[in-house]
Structure 1
Amino acid sequence: MADDDITERITQLIDEEHRIQRDHIGREATTEERDQLRAIEVQLDRYWDLLRQRQARRESGQNPDDADLRSANTVENYRQ
């Protein structure tokens, strides 16, 4: 997946996140909406991670195409 494709996917996810947030302005979000937002957050984390992997590979002289979209479990359990 090319950087432009990853960036486009990130933009789509952000747009979807904003749509869901707008849909429940003035009322509490439903369980379904909260679940959808959490799923979007995880997907955003995964795609941002992929973009960072590609950049790091490029900067170190490696092939950015060898970067893989890591699992949600891997990305969400990084130690900070």
Structure 2
Amino acid sequence: MDDKSILDHINELAVEEHRLRQSHATHTSDDRRRLELIERELDQAWDLLRQRRARSEFGEDPDDARERSVDEVEGYLQ
């Protein structure tokens, strides 16, 4: 997956997240679960994009970057 594909995916998720948050008065348990999944998937996508950009910056192959598990990404200190 290249940077553009990752950014496109991030944008798609952000649009869906925004739509779900706008309808907050009618959140179902499915909506809340979907929001949680979107948040985690966004964290993973941003992490992958940062990995790719760092590899490029330091002359490494960005295609060697790999999506990390949710637990690993969520465990990082910001």
TM-score (norm. length: structure 2): 0.90
Q: Structure 1: how far apart are the matches of 2:50 and 2:22?
A: 29
Task: Give SS of 1:15's match.
Answer: helix
In structure 1, the partner of 2:59 is: 61
In structure 2, the partner of 1:21 is: 21
Among residues 27, 30, 41, which one is paired with 2:28 in the alignment? 30
TM-score (norm. length: structure 1): 0.88
Give the number of equivalent residue pairs: 78
Q: Structure 2: how far apart are the matches of 1:2 and 1:28?
A: 36
Task: Give SS of 1:12's match.
Answer: helix
Q: Structure 2: how far apart are the matches of 1:79 and 1:11?
A: 24
Among residues 46, 49, 52, which one is paired with 2:47 in the alignment? 49
Task: Give SS of 1:43's match.
Answer: helix
Q: Structure 2: how far apart are the matches of 1:56 and 1:18?
A: 28
In structure 1, the gaps of 5 or more residues are none
- 1:20-64 alpha-carbon deviations (Å, 9 max, x no partner): 11233xx26322211111110000000000000001101111000
Higher helix share: 2
Q: Percent identity?
A: 49
TM-superposed CA distance for 1:16, in Å, is 0.7
Q: Structure 1: how far apart are the matches of 2:20 and 2:77?
A: 29
